[in-house]
């Protein structure tokens, strides 16, 4: 090889090395920026969790007592503890409130009409503008194949609630009061576009995230989980099936009510259900007017979630006050709405949760162990 060729090769290599150094420098800058972002997020959430921890501690000090350890050491008979009756009994203790609480003065009883208004106002805190009623009617007629006047005895064109994914209309169907949840038009197309862009971001983060903090983040898996949940939420037949399963799980408990699904008039974009009015669970004054025992309702709420998580492994994953209401049937019962977002827990995880629960109850740290999923 001649000296001229060697010089040319050296120059070429210098250029390549320079470009490589530039790329490495860019990558180091990206990693540095990502570390700063991760640190900022970490600090932000640490601050929020610290505040939340203080709030929870204060609430617990005010509203609960330390559970007595009634189980003797060395008691290995766990079978009886796993049945729903035992879980509900322990739920009673979890919601025991302080004694000697000042009694609430008697208030005027609330009427069924006011119950209905409570139902209609249950989304007002995160109310979004409704879409035109004509659009809602058009979607119903396209999905169900008939004009609304031929389907329903009465259809209320003014929606009683509107949310990000859809809006709700009241109607009368074959003599029964029902609600019709109608999906906002074009949601799937919007999801397709947004989620496609988010997928690109997730894949990029997967490549550049150094994971130097030891965390095993899988950005694509996180994306996949979110996308699955979102698409399930806009399939109202999936929500209807969730509602039926949830209702079946609580069929023997008269303190839980789930509106019945009218399958004949339900499609992926239209959900027709029994109209069950109630008062939002955080409307204290109205609950007192209704004449229900709030302490008992608190016990019911805890029992219901112990049942969902530890017994059924199928739970309502969006239990904000807009999705849980109360009526005066059977002296006061909980009404669950909106079953678009549900969670499932595998049997081995449930077993681990149950062991941890009893470990805390018995003050036995050796039982607080979780199996791998």
Catalytic residues: 318
| Distance from C-alpha of 263 to C-alpha of 274, rounded to nearest angstrom | 11
Tokens of 311: 């017994």
Tokens of 79: 């079978």
Q: DSSP class of residue 261?
A: B
| Distance from C-alpha of 229 to C-alpha of 225, rounded to nearest angstrom | 6
C-alpha dist (Å) from residue 243 to 120, 174, 254, 260 = 20, 22, 16, 8
DSSP 346-371: -HHHHHHHHHHHHHHHTT-GGG----
Tokens of 178: 């029902």
In 95-234, alpha helices (H):
112-120, 133-144, 148-151, 187-208, 219-233
Indicate the Cα dihedral angle 37, 39, 45, 48, nearest 10°.
-110
């Amino acid at each position: 090889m001649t000296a001229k060729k060697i010089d040319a090769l050296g120059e070429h290599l210098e250029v390549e090395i320079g470009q490589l150094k530039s790329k490495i420098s860019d990558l180091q800058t990206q990693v540095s920026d990502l570390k700063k972002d991760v640190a900022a997020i970490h600090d932000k959430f640490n601050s929020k969790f610290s505040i939340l921890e203080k709030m929870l501690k204060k609430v617990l000090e005010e509203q609960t007592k330390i559970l007595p350890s009634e189980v003797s050491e060395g008691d290995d008979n766990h079978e009886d503890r796993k049945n729903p009756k035992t879980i509900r009994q322990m739920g009673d203790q979890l919601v025991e409130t302080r004694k000697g609480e000042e009694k609430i003065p008697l208030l005027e009883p609330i009427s069924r009409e006011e119950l209905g208004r409570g139902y209609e106002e249950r989304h007002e805190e995160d109310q979004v503008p409704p879409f035109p009623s004509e659009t809602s009617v058009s979607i119903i007629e396209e999905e169900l194949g008939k004009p609304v006047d031929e389907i329903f005895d009465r259809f209320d064109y003014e929606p009683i609630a509107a949310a990000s994914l859809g809006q709700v209309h009241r109607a009368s169907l074959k003599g029964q009061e029902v609600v019709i949840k109608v999906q906002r038009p074009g949601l799937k197309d919007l999801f397709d576009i947004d989620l496609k862009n988010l997928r690109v971001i997730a894949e990029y983060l997967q490549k550049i995230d150094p994971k130097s903090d030891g965390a095993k983040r899988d950005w694509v898996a996180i994306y996949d989980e979110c996308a699955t949940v979102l698409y399930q939420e806009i399939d109202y037949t999936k929500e209807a099936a969730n509602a039926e399963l949830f209702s079946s799980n609580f069929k023997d408990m008269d303190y839980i009510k789930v509106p019945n699904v009218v399958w004949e008039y339900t499609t992926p974009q239209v959900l027709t259900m029994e109209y069950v009015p109630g008062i939002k669970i955080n409307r204290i004054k109205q609950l007192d007017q209704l004449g229900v025992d709030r302490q008992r309702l608190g016990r019911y709420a805890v029992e219901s979630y112990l049942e969902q998580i530890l017994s059924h492994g199928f739970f309502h994953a969006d239990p904000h006050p807009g999705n849980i209401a109360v009526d005066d049937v059977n002296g006061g019962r909980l009404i669950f709405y909106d079953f678009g977002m549900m969670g499932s827990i595998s049997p081995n995880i449930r077993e681990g949760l149950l062991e941890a629960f009893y470990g805390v109850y018995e003050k036995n740290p050796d039982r607080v162990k979780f199996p791998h999923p």
